[in-house]
Structure 1
Amino acid sequence: MSDRQTGTATVERPGRTGAAPVRGSREKARARREARGGWSLLAPSVIILGVMVGYPAVLMVIQSFTDYGVKNKVQGTLPDFVGLDNYIDLITKSDFPAVLLRSLSLMVVMTVLIIGLGVLVAVLMTRLSRGWRITVSVGLLLAWAMPPLAATTVWGWIFDTQYGLVNWALNTITGTSNWTNHSWLIDPMSFFFVLIVIVVWQGVPFVAFTTYAALGQVPGEVLEAASLDGATGIKRFRFVVFPYLRSVLVVVLVLEIIWNLRIFTQVYALQSRGGLASETNVLGTYMFRQGPGDFGFTSAIGVVMVALLLILSWRYVRTTLKEEEL
């Protein structure tokens, strides 16, 4: 039936057609305000990062392509552009390749030991009573809180040539005096053994506490169901617990790779106690021992270190970005 037959009239509401554009413009304006608010909150952090990280990084990259040295700094003159000469000399005319291989090998060994022992300690802490768990936690905190230099000094005395506890214990166990005045730092292999002990001892607490906190997120019902299905402890950890820990362990793995690849204090302190620097240098001490005379060459070492760390952590960054997009 028509409007004429029913006697009703159709009334148009003015402004209906323009409601959607008005609503869209308001949403865009609100989004712009929120964006400005977010950037205003991030601005201080961005500025600090730009000044503290961005500027030195850019300056390091620029200097790596020059022959910038002490003479330029003293005389106030500009360095000459040398292109890739510093990088070529780094690979062909120095022992940097050997130092890089040594650093990577140490990083792999220390990272595997730290994560393996840290996860094991975290799992064992879940089986301890409250009193023992507090005792273990305090011991881990003391090891973690000790400064690296102080920890290296203590362990240096434990492995001391004349008064070290390790030499005394080995003489007592073997019933001989073969370990008297035995130097643990003069030989590169035993030097790295002591270094690994120190770094792993201080690195395990972080992994243990992080993993222990993540284990608290595993539902007890799932573990109980796995036990009722006859799954052994190893299978429960592999198929039930590990999926809950994967994201946490990936972060821990990346952090440990970065930290273990740029160790400096422990290596330098042990070298000062009798280690041969030429045979025990890692990337950090190698760059430090190049001296202040050639800033261009040392900048090239720094660029290679940063690039290496970015390559090793890129997979984690890419995975994180994908998870945020989802």
Structure 2
Amino acid sequence: MTATTLAPPLTAAAPPPAAPRARRRSAAPLVLLAPSIVMLVVFIGWPLVQMIVMSFQEYGRAQIFGQPAEFVGLDNYLAVLGDSEFWMVLARSIALCIVCVTATMVLGVLIAVLLTRLGVVMRSAVSIALLLAWAMPALTATIVWGWIFDTQYGLVNYFLSRVTGTDWTGHSWLIDPVSFFAVAAIIITWGAVPFVVFTVYAGFSQVPGEVLEAASLDGASPWKRFRFVTLPYLRSILLVLLILQIIWDLRVFAQIYALQTIGGVRADTNTIGVYIYSVSMASGDLGAGGAISVILVLIMLLVSAYYIRSMLKQEES
């Protein structure tokens, strides 16, 4: 009796891997983005290039009327950086920016939290009031606030006279630089708070209710729930808001210029935006004004560098 060995079953050969198909990139995204790209190049890119070129030229009133501009290299930058007034204006602008951004972010988050606690009627009323404040142009708002702080008929002086028993009629809030910037900070914060409120209030919808409920069942206080649960979900939103507010408040122009027109001393209350306007238009030195503008752009890029780096890291991951 002979043993028979069974041959192993034949297995079908695996088919060769299919060659990767070349991905055909559609032109539709570029077509859809083309209008926006053209608008950015025309209205932002080209003026920015002109400003940079002008900052390396001697560009004054003669060049405005057709005389060729002379290339002066870094002379405009050296003159600006060597001017003590520029550094004083820059420090003043940064200090005002810190105060306004801090007040705007704190008040914006607090009011957004308040909206979540209000009923439908009160929440609608507060939202409409915020929208009206946000929709008012900066120049119009500054004029209205200028009336409120008017020396003779202002509501603030009248209220202080009634409360303190001292006659505040004739007191100027704009003649002193400290009170001038206090009024300016109120106006700037008043106009910027609604944007922060609506953005943060919309961001609350990203916080899962189950997580908040679980934290509440674990005995976490409202402050701890807000700090350890809500804030981590809002961190990216708050970071974007912070950077936008720094950029907007650092280059503020309309409110400061209008207050100076109403009664402020321009030499003691210039911020970087008004200073660029004064150097470029009043003095007619567009080259120096372009150099200051480029320096301001570089400062803003440094401010937003952290956000840009974190955003790129998120895209890579």
Q: Same fold (TM over 0.5)?
A: yes
- 1:250 aligned onto 2:239: yes
1-side partners of 2:75 and 2:312: how far apart?
A: 36
Q: Which residue of 1 aligns with 2:297?
A: 306
Deviations 1:160-209 (A, max 9, x none): 000000000001001121x1200000000000010011111111111111
Aligned residue-pair number: 308
Superposition pairs for residues 273-312 of structure 1, below 5 Å?
Answer: 273-292=262-281, 293-312=284-303
Gaps of 5+ in 2: 1-6
Contact 2:279–2:286 (8 Å) recurs in 1: no
1-side partners of 2:280 and 2:305: how far apart?
A: 31
Deviations 1:265-323 (A, max 9, x none): 10010000010111111111001111432111111011011111111011111111211
Q: Which residue of 1 aligns with 2:41?
A: 50
Q: Which residue of 2 aligns with 1:315?
A: 306
2-side partners of 1:94 and 1:63: how far apart?
A: 22
- 1:69 aligned onto 2:64: no
Change (3 A) 1:283 1:149: same
Deviations 1:200-221 (A, max 9, x none): 1111111111111111221222
- 1:175 aligned onto 2:170: no
- 1:107 aligned onto 2:97: yes
Contact 2:243–2:304 (8 Å) recurs in 1: yes
1-side partners of 2:35 and 2:190: how far apart?
A: 37
Q: Which residue of 2 aligns with 1:268?
A: 257
Aligned partner letter, 2:68: L
Q: Which residue of 2 aligns with 1:122?
A: 112
Q: Which residue of 2 aligns with 1:221?
A: 210
Q: Which deviates the most, 249-258 or 287-296?
A: 287-296
2-side partners of 1:123 and 1:45: how far apart?
A: 36
Shift of 1:117: 0.4
1-side partners of 2:108 and 2:63: how far apart?
A: 49
Deviations 1:136-158 (A, max 9, x none): 11111111111111111111000
User: Percent same amino acid among aligned pairs?
Assistant: 53
Deviations 1:27-78 (A, max 9, x none): 24x1xx32x332232222222211211111111111111112221232x332
Match of 2:22 among 23, 27, 36: 27
Shift of 1:89: 0.9
2-side partners of 1:244 and 1:89: how far apart?
A: 46
Q: Which deviates the most, 155-164 or 89-98?
A: 89-98
2-side partners of 1:239 and 1:106: how far apart?
A: 31
Give the alignment's Cα RMSD to 1 decimal: 2.2
Q: Which residue of 1 aligns with 2:3?
A: none
Q: TM-score, normalised by structure 2?
A: 0.91
Q: Which deviates the most, 60-69 or 39-48?
A: 39-48
2-side partners of 1:20 and 1:266: how far apart?
A: 66
Q: Which deviates the most, 103-112 or 316-325?
A: 316-325
Superposition pairs for residues 230-241 of structure 1, below 5 Å?
Answer: 230-241=219-230
Q: Which deviates the most, 154-163 or 139-148?
A: 139-148
Q: Which deviates the most, 150-159 or 223-232?
A: 223-232
Shift of 1:94: 4.9
Contact 2:280–2:288 (8 Å) recurs in 1: no
2-side partners of 1:79 and 1:134: how far apart?
A: 57
Aligned partner letter, 1:109: V
Change (3 A) 1:73 1:202: closer
2-side partners of 1:38 and 1:316: how far apart?
A: 25
2-side partners of 1:47 and 1:221: how far apart?
A: 45
Gaps of 5+ in 1: 1-5
